[in-house]
Amino acid sequence: MATFDSENAAHLHRELHSHLPSDPALRVKTLESLAIERGLVAPQTVDAWVEAYSEHIGPKRGAQVVARAWLDADFHARLLEDAAEAIKDLGFQGSATGHLKAVANTDRQHNMVVCTLCSCYPFSILGMSPSWYKSAEYRARAVREPRQVLSEFGVALADDVAVRVWDSTAELRYLVVPQRPAGTQGWSEEALAAIVTRNSMIGTQRDLPLEAS
């Protein structure tokens, strides 16, 4: 019967990691180079995925959804009723958005999304989730003390603004539709999408700037 030697396992773990750079970006580059060198992935495939998430997915798809909702009242209503179906208008669908629910901020309610069990997230329209979203601290405190967490993100809410926290699961994921900023009348969908941020669609940002960040 095979036995598990914890000291030997720890030694192997240290040995493997000693060959990787400490900087995360360098680690990723090292792993990428090794995968390409050993024929596990083609460099064109890596480039395609990087471009997809940086140029097309990122939070850009979600921003386009929000901008469309701001401009089209019918789309906005359909988005709140059945987000997974509504976003098909933009060609956005997939396993990560098959059970998507959109919730809209108002003058009297602010929405915030968390995943208390793990880190479920609609990555196909928001890109990869930020590291803080996956942290145990955010996952616990967002439910227990949402106003304090929001204040640490720079969101100051009046006492008459309610906070609703939505807990994502593998079967149901959320998209916050932020309020459209004043002074954007007459803006194009493209211009509006440029000011929508990832954090605003998670709910850790409320007021959007009139200039793209």
Domain-embedded: residue 211: no
Residue 120 located in a structural domain? yes
In a domain, 103, yes or no: yes
Distance of CA 66 to the CA centre of its chain: 14
Q: Provide the pLDDT confidence category of residue 15 given band limits of 50, 70 and 90.
A: low
In a domain, 7, yes or no: no
The structure tokens 């942290």 sit at 135
pTM for this prediction: 0.77
3-state secondary structure of 177: strand
Range of the domain at 170: 58-202
Taking only the tens place, the pLDDT of each residue in 165-199 is 999 998 899 999 999 999 999 999 999 999 999 99
User: Which amino acid appears at position 170 of this protein?
Assistant: A
* Alpha carbon distance 181, 105 (integer Å): 12
Identify the CATH number of the domain in which residue 150 sits: 3.90.330.10
**pLDDT tens sequence across 115-134:** 999 889 998 889 888 999 99
Contacts of 179 (CB under 8 A, 6+ apart): 104, 105, 106, 107, 206
191: in domain: yes
Asked whether the predicted pLDDT for residue 54 surpasses 70, the reply is no
Number of structural domains found in the chain? 1
**In-domain check, residue 75:** yes
What are the respective helix, strand and coil percentages of the chain, to the nearest 5? 50, 10, 40
Instruction: Give a yes or no: residue 29 inside a domain.
Output: no
Catalytic residue numbers read 115, 118-120
36 within a domain of the structure (yes/no): no
Closest by Cα among 116, 118, 123 to 96: 123
